[in-house]
Amino acid sequence: MPKGFTLIELMIVVAIIGILTAIAIPVYHLFTVKTRIHTAMYEISAAKPAYEIIVTQNAPALITPADLYIQAETSTCSINVAIPDLNQTETKVLSCSLKDKSSLETTAEIYLTRTPLGKYSCKTVGIPYYLIPKECI
C-alpha cells in the first residue's frame, strides 16, 4: 500500500483553507476597524475629568489637549477641544477625527458633547451604525 496523500486529498485541503481564508479576512478587517473606533472613543473619554475641572473653574478662552493631559495627535486621532457654550443645549467639546479612514467615510469622527449641566454624550459622523460603540448609541 503506497504511503502519502493523493492529489485529490491535497486539493480538498487547499480548497478548505481557501474557504476559511475567504471568511476570516473580512471578519478580521471589520474587527480592526471596530477596534480603532473604540480606541478613539477611549482616547477622548480619558480627558473628560480634566476637562470638567477646567470648565467648572472658569474655563479660559482656549483649552488645548495638553491642558487635559492628552496628546493632540495620536496614532488613531487628531484630537480637538472646544469651550462649552453654556447657552446651548449641547456643545461638541472633545472630538477625534479618525486618521485611518479605511472602511469609513472621509468625515469619520467621534466626539463628546456636553450640556450646560455637565452631562456628556457620545456622537459619531461618517461611521456605519454597526461599528458605533455602544456608549454612542
CATH number of the domain that 78 lies in? 3.30.700.10
In a domain, 57, yes or no: yes
Q: What is the pTM of this model?
A: 0.81
- Residue 119 forms part of a structural domain: yes
Whose grid coordinates read 480634566?
Answer: 50
What total number of domains does the chain contain?
1
**Domain span at residue 87?**
7-136
DSSP 58-99: T--S---GGGGTS-SB-SSEEEEE----TTSS-EEEEEEEES
Q: Is 70 among the domain residues?
A: yes
* Residue 126 placed within a domain: yes
In a domain, 1, yes or no: no
Residue 30: inside a domain, yes or no? yes
d(CA 135, CA 63): 25
User: Mind listing the pLDDT tens digit of every residue in the chain (137 residues)?
Assistant: 678 889 999 999 999 999 999 999 999 999 999 999 999 999 999 999 999 998 888 777 788 999 999 999 999 999 999 988 878 788 899 999 999 888 888 889 999 999 988 899 999 999 999 999 998 88
How deeply is 44 buried, as exposed, middle or buried, from its count of CB atoms within 10 A (0-12, 13-18, 19+)? buried
